[in-house]
Chains A and B, each alone.
Chain A
Amino acid sequence: MSSTAVPGGAKTLAKRKATQENKLKQQQQNQPNSSRAAGAGGSSASMLKIFNEEAQGFKIDPLVVLVFAVAFIFSVVLLHVLAKITGNIF
Chain B
Amino acid sequence: MSGLRILEFIKPFSSLIPEVELPYEKIIFDEKIFYTIGISAVYLLLSLPLTGVNPSNIADPFYWLRLPFASEAGTLLEFGVLPLVTSAFLWQILAGLKIIKVNFSNIYDRQFFQSLQKITAILIAIIYGSILAFSGYFQSIDSFVKLNESQSTQLWGNILIISQLTISTGIVCLLVELLEKGYGFGPGIMAFIAVNSATKFAGSLFGFITNIKTSQSNGAVIQLVRNIFNKSITNAIYDVFTRDSEINFTQIYLVIATLALISYFHHFRMDISIKSSKVRSMVSNYPIRLFYSGALPILFAYSLIYNINIIIFSLSKIFGPIPLIANWELNAYTNKTYELTSGILYFLSTSNFGSYYYFNIIKLFTFTTFITFISGIFGRNWYAMSGSSGKDLAKQFKDQDIVVIGHRDATVAKELTKMISSSSFIGSLILGSIIGFVESTGLSKGLVAGVVVGVLSALSLLESIMSEYQQSGPANSQFSQVFGI
A contact residues vs B (CB 8 Å cutoff): 28, 31-38, 40, 42-62, 65-66, 68-70, 72-73, 76-77, 79-80, 83, 88-90
User: In whole angstroms, how far apart are the Cα atoms of A48 and B112 in the complex?
Assistant: 18
Instruction: Out of B105, B296, B383, name the residue touching A48 (CB < 8 Å).
Output: B296
Complex: A83 Cα to B111 Cα, angstroms: 42
Contact string against A for B residues 277-297, beta-carbon threshold 8 Å, 1 for contact and 0 otherwise:
000000000000001111110
Interface assignment of B328: CB less than 8 Å from any CB of chain A: no
Tell me whether A44 and B180 are in contact in the complex, defined as CB-CB below 8 angstroms, given that A31-B103, A37-B392, A54-B19 are known contacts: no
A-B contact count (CB 8 A): 209
List, in ascending order, chain B residues with CB within 8 A of A69's CB.
Answer: 42, 46, 171, 174-175
Nearest B residue to A83, CB-CB? B51
Which residues on B sit within 8 Å (CB–CB) of A62?
20-21, 23, 35, 178, 183
B386: chain A residues at CB < 8 Å are 34, 36-37, 42-45
A73-B19 contact given A31-B104, A53-B111, CB 8 Å threshold: no
As a 0/1 sequence over residues 148 to 171 of chain B, the CB contacts with chain A under 8 angstroms (1 = contact) are: 000001001100100010011001
Given contacts A34-B95, A57-B18, 15 further A-B contacts (CB under 8 A): A33-B95, A33-B98, A33-B102, A35-B104, A40-B104, A45-B383, A46-B294, A50-B118, A50-B189, A51-B180, A52-B180, A59-B19, A69-B174, A72-B168, A79-B160
Q: B292 contacts A66, CB within 8 Å?
A: no
Chain B residues near A77: list those with CB within 8 A: 48
B180 touches A45 (CB 8 A): no
Q: How far is the CA of A33 from the CA of B299 in the complex (A)?
A: 21
Across the interface, which residues of B come within 8 angstroms of A36, CB to CB? 386-388, 392
Is B51 in contact with A76, judged by CB distance below 8 angstroms? yes
Q: Report the separation of the CA atoms of residues A60 and B170 in the bound assembly, to the nearest whole angstrom.
A: 14
- For chain A, what secondary structure do more than half of its interface residues adopt (helix, strand, loop), or is it mixed? loop
Q: In whole angstroms, how far apart are the Cα atoms of A79 and B52 in the complex?
A: 9
Contact call A38/B387, Cβ cutoff below 8 A: yes
Can you report 28 residue pairs joining A to B where beta carbons are below 8 Å apart?
A33-B96, A33-B104, A34-B104, A38-B104, A43-B92, A44-B388, A45-B386, A46-B456, A46-B460, A47-B464, A48-B88, A51-B181, A51-B188, A52-B114, A54-B21, A55-B111, A55-B115, A56-B14, A56-B111, A57-B15, A60-B20, A61-B20, A65-B177, A66-B39, A70-B42, A73-B45, A73-B46, A80-B49
C-alpha spacing A57/B14, complex, angstroms:
6
